[in-house]
Structure formats: structure tokens, C-alpha cells
Amino acid sequence: MTVIICNDTPPAIRGMLKRWFVEPKPNVFVGTVNRRTREKTIEYIRRNAPGLGMLILATAQNSQGFSIVSYGETNRIPVIYDGHYLIAEKWNEDEEC
């Protein structure tokens, strides 16, 4: 399963994504595609909408069963903590941890 969350998706990109994904909410695309199709789709989006911020959750062989990748500017930052993916809404680099 793949979930792609975009910021202000252009109509051409939205139409292309709707070929393989459903859009349950504006700018949120969910679908089951193989890895090659997912990678080609993301490559197409990055080439044709370079400023588009995306957060991508995809099935992976790890303890959580998914991975998270971010492209462009988004409001959330994927973080790996003790081998687990987390989403940070605000990130402050403090030396006192």
C-alpha cells in the first residue's frame, strides 16, 4: 500500500495520480501499486512539479511494515527514532536531550 500526501497538487499531477490511486481527501492519494510503479510515479511528479511538497508512506520490510519519505517542503518531518518512523510537526535541535 502507498499513501502520498501532497501540498497544493497541480491539476495535471492530480489527474495522473488518480489513474492508480483513490483520493479520499483533497491531496491525499491511497493505492496499492508495486514498487516500480510507485518509484516511476514519484519520479514523474518530482520532474513535472519540482516545488511540490510530498510525504510518502509505503509498505516496507521492517518492524513497522512501512517507510516514510519526504520530498520538498512539508509541514511534517519524518524522523527515525530507535529504528521506528515518527512524524515530527515541529523539530528543535537541542543539545540537552
Domain-wise residue ranges, the chain: 2-88
Contact 87, 79 (CB under 8 A): yes
Q: What is the pLDDT of residue 95?
A: 59
pTM of structure:
0.81
Categorise residue 96: left if φ over 0, alpha if ψ from -120 to 50, beta otherwise: beta
Summarize pLDDT for 17-75 with one digit per residue, the tens. Answer: 999 999 999 999 999 999 999 999 999 999 999 889 999 999 998 888 898 998 888 87
Q: Which residues contact 33 (CB under 8 A, 6 or more apart)?
A: 2, 20, 21, 41
Q: Which of 69, 75, 78, 80 lies closest to 41 in space, CA to CA?
A: 69
CATH architecture of the domain with residue range 2-88 = 2-Layer Sandwich (3.30)
Q: Which of 73, 69, 49 lies closest to 58 in space, CA to CA?
A: 69
At residue 73's C-alpha, the angle toward residues 70 and 78, to 5°, is 35
- Whether pLDDT at 97 is above 60: no
Q: What is the mean pLDDT of residues 72-82?
A: 83
